[in-house]
Homo-oligomer: A and B are copies of this chain.
Amino acid sequence: MVLLIHHPVSAISRKIRLLMAEKRILFVLREEEPWNLSPEIYKLNVAGELPIFIFDGNVIAGNYAITEFLEEVNPDVRLIGGDARQKAEIRRLTEWFDLKFEREVGRSLINEKVFKRFGKGLAPDSKVLKTALNNLNFHMEYIDWLCESRNYLAGSSFSLADVAAAAHLSIIDYLGDVPWEGYKNARLWYSKIKSRPAFKDILKDNIKGILPAKHYANLDF
């Protein structure tokens, strides 16, 4: 059995769930609040980070380790495919979202709107929100530009780069902060990703205490 300890505001958790769903791996989810981790989590992952992937008593922690493990042991559905250069492009863009988007957009928005509220009972800082939303426009432009000449983010095929980008974006979209107007190509790309069967569970996600944006689960948004 595969167990994933996750939380719906953890973008990397969403990425791993999507990855497993694309690879048709059956798994069980257990939710853990990132702002209130139990001591057990630190025993499973000294780094104190979600998600944690557990199979047959084996524990794998860390985005990099879990992602490559899933790709290696489930090669029937490849999400890092093509020749070495194509793989490098997939990994470059995956890292773009996992690190750069996360640092410039996701971390601030989620911290201000979710962590501060539920972890500390504080209101968001509007200055921090504004900077993150400005940064978001830069990332939307980049996605839009990539999708102008490509079917998917890293090229002609669906790949890990799409999974990573959609995982990060979907949380911001839940919060209602993605400015879809003006980014026609990005919107078309996201509607393709949203329509994939693997995305169904992500669209049912529920962050306790926060209602999703009205269009969140709508395939024709």
Contact = CB atoms under 8 A, between A and B. Distances in A.
Interface string A73-102: 100000000001101110110111001100
A106 to B, nearest CB: 14
A89 B66 CA distance: 10
A91 B64 contact: yes
B62 A96 contact: yes
Contact of A88 (B65, B85, B88): B65
A220 interface: no
B95 A64 contact: yes
A157 to B, nearest CB: 17
Interface centre among A58, A64, A87, A91 (most CB of B within 10 A): A64
Contact of A69 (B65, B87, B96): B87
Given A46-B142, A68-B68, A72-B87, 5 more contacts: A47-B96, A65-B95, A68-B88, A69-B91, A72-B84
A60 interface: yes
Contacts of A65: 87-89, 91-92, 95
A92 B61 contact: yes
A59 to B, nearest CB: 9
B62 A87 contact: no
Interface of A: 46-47, 58, 60-66, 68-69, 72-73, 84-85, 87-89, 91-92, 94-96, 99-100, 142
Nearest to A90: B65
Contacts of A60: 85, 88, 92
Q: How many copies does the complex hold?
A: 2
A198 to B, nearest CB: 22
A99 B100 CA distance: 12
A87 B64 contact: no
Nearest to A69: B88
Contacts of A92: 60-62, 64-65
Contacts of A91: 62, 64-65, 68-69
A140 to B, nearest CB: 14
Contacts of A69: 84-85, 87-88, 91
Nearest to A99: B99
